[in-house]
Amino acid sequence: MFQSLRKPERDRVTITVNGHPIEAIAGQSVWSAMALNGQTITRRAALSGEDRSAYCAMGVCFECLVEIDGLPNQQACLRRVTEGMAVTTQEITETTEATNAGL
Amino acid sequence: MQAFDCAIIGAGPAGMSAAITLAKSGACVAVLDQASRAGGQIYRASADSPLPDAHVLGADYTDGATLIAEFERVDITHITQADVWHIGDDGRILFSHFGDTRELHCREMLLCPGAMERPMPIPGWTLPGVMTAGAAQVMLKSDAMVAKGAVFAGSGPLLYLIVAQYLRLGVPVAAMVDTTPRQNYLAAAPLLPRAMRNLPMLKKGLDLLREIRASGVPVYRGATDLQVLGDTRAQGLRFTSASRSHDIAADTVFLHHGVQPNLNMTRAMDLTHRWNADQLCWQVDTDAFGQSSVPHVAVAGDGAGIIGADGARMAGRLAALNILHRLDLLPQEGLDRAAAPDLAALAAMSPFRAFIDRLYRPSDALRLPRDPDTLVCRCEEQTLAQLRTGFEQGARDPNALKMLTRCGMGPCQGRQCGHIVAGLLSDWRNEPPETVGYYRLRSPQRLLTLDELSRFHAIPAPTEATE
């Protein structure tokens, strides 16, 4: 279970994760804001659709891809939260893409 | 467009040290970095830690704040949160910046892409809840975030460091599962006498191990047959130690199996690479000053071969001195004189590095998957069995296997599976890694949208750069 040991000093912002408002610290990574609020799943695996979560937390593995303000494929570990940011877990898989393409 | 004298990519110890050296001699420098503040992975948030007391992370970490402060004082163009996705050997660099596309030009370039963790493809390594020890460090440093009751498994100094840091912070640790093979201790022993010259480093490592042992955290040694438990998310780790099978319950499993150069930038530029048989990884081929097979492209720090943070500072300075010479800002005698101390210091570090490399040499059983159902390519979900089928169908090198199975074609562009695929093919063909080769990589090095490409800005150098 993730827990924050942060000293209580920085400005707070409100973001939404899958539509639910959560409080975060300005400048915090999107991944940590999600994880500390229990949302550890970031995206679905491309073929199986299985749940995936951050693996490296430093921008190398691309497992933490989420949609931020409507833009897909954003690395939650690299992006920083800002007031009003809307984060959604990325549901794109090969199956959904094929459906969208009318296949 | 006005070009920078030098563009540095990456603001870790190598990039920061190089920028300071270059700027102090009057070069016009741009530094592009992914993070919101300089430091790299090793000194991440060292200048503004969110922890109430960052000193528990150790002096090696907090000392980074001094370098960051010096870097932030020099007159350079430092672009934070820049995600570089194209580097041309014509001096053109393209990067994403807050959803826009930006471009700059430079005469000389210095790549400091740093290290990444060696993937550890054990069964269940793609389950949510499985992360790397480096991830634990990043979360702790940048967001003061910890995972209570986690199990740490693998081998190498970074693993012991993060466990010790957790313990100092009072964060409960379920167990430390050390996979260092017993034979590594024997194999490394002959290298110990020369490594003893670097007594402080050796003592630091032993102190970490002693600290962990004294804490009472269960420590298992010589562990083999690791497997993450759980169907849809991690529930623990199963392994064998002292001939007995153990199950440790934990919802977070941190894995570590050493680090290797982050290759995507240097590979995408098609620089010459060579196989490092001591560290079992590919690295860019450079001279003592970091100069690559393309003369105006240098690479410094762990991204050019693992040397650690102190070595990276020296390598960054050396690369900068050579670049100053190439820019006609430093005569040959000045270069020789200024470079001598760092060249000597780097050489003095190498016996200790050789000892560590041998002691924590990755075991084949953890470097390459054994279970046919284990995913090798996490992005395109290709298992060991599927890759083996592709090999048997005639795909004998990494690029052929990529074409046939899509391994390495997902968002991470082979960053995770590159060394695994090359290692497997080397095993299957019974030929050395040099013969097997590596993925051919291309720009863009990240996912882009057409919308982003349409928002394009060029960044000229701020003043007249030297001609």
Q: Which of A1, A7, A41 has the CB atom closest to B52's CB atom?
A: A7
Contact B148 A1 (CB under 8 A): yes
Confidence of residue A100 (pLDDT cuts 50, 70, 90): low
Indicate the domain borders of chain B. Answer: 4-115+261-330, 119-257, 368-436
Options 3.50.50.60, 3.90.550.10, 3.40.50.300, 3.90.79.10; CATH for B119-257 is 3.50.50.60
Size of interface A-B (CB pairs under 8 A): 128
Chain B residues with CB-CB distance to A51 below 8 A: 128, 232-233
How many angstroms separate the CA of residue A54 from the nearest CA in chain B? 7
Contact A46 B130 (CB under 8 A): no
pLDDT (0 to 100) of residue A1: 86
B9 phi and psi, to 5 degrees? -110, 115
Q: Are B230 and B127 in contact (CB under 8 A)?
A: yes
CATH number at A12-100: 3.10.20.440
Contact B412 A60 (CB under 8 A): yes
Which CA distances in Å does B251 have to B151, B164, B235, B316? 8, 20, 5, 40
pLDDT (0 to 100) of residue B467: 46
pLDDT (0 to 100) of residue B201: 87
Chain B residues with CB-CB distance to A78 below 8 A: 34, 81, 83
Q: What percent of chain B has pLDDT over 90?
A: 91
Residue B359: name the closest of B166, B178, B162 by CA.
B178
Options 3.50.50.60, 3.30.70.330, 3.40.50.12780, 1.10.645.10; CATH for B4-115+261-330 is 3.50.50.60
- Chain segment B244-275, per-residue pLDDT in tens: 999 999 999 999 999 999 999 999 999 999 99
pLDDT (0 to 100) of residue B451: 80
| B146 token code pair | 């910890």
pLDDT (0 to 100) of residue A98: 67
CB-based contact, B132 to chain A, within 8 Å: yes
* Chain B 384-423, residues with CB within 8 Å of chain A CB atoms: 410-412, 415-416
Contact B131 A57 (CB under 8 A): yes
Minimal Cα distance from A57: which residue of B? Answer: B135
How many angstroms separate the CA of residue B148 from the nearest CA in chain A? 6
pLDDT (0 to 100) of residue B356: 95
How far apart are the C-alpha atoms of B280 and B276, rounded to whole Å? 6
pLDDT (0 to 100) of residue B142: 95
Chain centroid to CA B222: 25
Q: State the best of B55, B143, B382, B405 to mutate against chain A, taking most chain A CBs within 10 Å.
A: B143
Q: Are B112 and B303 in contact (CB under 8 A)?
A: yes
With a cut of 50, which residues of chain B have pLDDT below it? 467
Amino acid sitting at position B53: D
Chain B residues with CB-CB distance to A64 below 8 A: none
How many angstroms separate the CA of residue A91 from the nearest CA in chain B? 14
Q: Is B408 left (phi over 0), alpha (psi -120 to 50) or beta?
A: left
* Chain B 290-329, residues with CB within 8 Å of chain A CB atoms: none
Q: pTM surpassing 0.80?
A: yes
pLDDT (0 to 100) of residue B183: 95
The DSSP bridge partners found for residue B147 are A2
Contact B143 A28 (CB under 8 A): yes
Contact A78 B233 (CB under 8 A): no
Contact B381 A53 (CB under 8 A): no
Residues whose CB is less than 8 angstroms from the CB of residue B183 and which lie 6 or more positions away in sequence, other chains included: none
Q: State the best of A55, A68, A81, A90 to mutate against chain B, taking most chain B CBs within 10 Å.
A: A55
Contact B415 A52 (CB under 8 A): no
Pairing, β A86-89 against β B92-97: unpaired
How many angstroms separate the CA of residue A48 from the nearest CA in chain B? 8
Does residue A98 or residue A92 have the better pLDDT? A92
- Chain segment B393-413, per-residue pLDDT in tens: 999 999 999 999 999 999 999
Question: How many contiguous H segments (helices) and E segments (strands) does chain B have?
Answer: 17, 23
Contact B144 A5 (CB under 8 A): yes
Q: What percent of chain A has pLDDT over 90?
A: 76
How far apart are the C-alpha atoms of A60 and B263, rounded to whole Å? 11
Answer yes or no: same fold for B4-115+261-330 and B119-257: yes
Pairing, β B82-87 against β B92-97: antiparallel
Options 3.30.200.20, 1.10.10.1100, 1.10.8.80, 3.30.1960.10; CATH for B368-436 is 1.10.10.1100
CB-based contact, B103 to chain A, within 8 Å: no
- Chain segment B22-79, per-residue pLDDT in tens: 999 999 999 999 999 999 999 999 999 999 999 999 999 999 999 999 999 999 999 9
Chain B residues with CB-CB distance to A52 below 8 A: 126, 128
pLDDT (0 to 100) of residue B447: 78
How many angstroms separate the CA of residue A60 from the nearest CA in chain B? 7
Q: Which of A2, A41, A63 has the CB atom closest to B378's CB atom?
A: A63
Which CA distances in Å does B432 have to B236, B273, B274, B395, B440? 36, 15, 12, 17, 18
ipTM for this prediction: 0.95
* pLDDT above 80 (res A103): no
Q: Which of B132, B149, B380 has the CB atom closest to A56's CB atom?
A: B132
CB-based contact, B262 to chain A, within 8 Å: yes
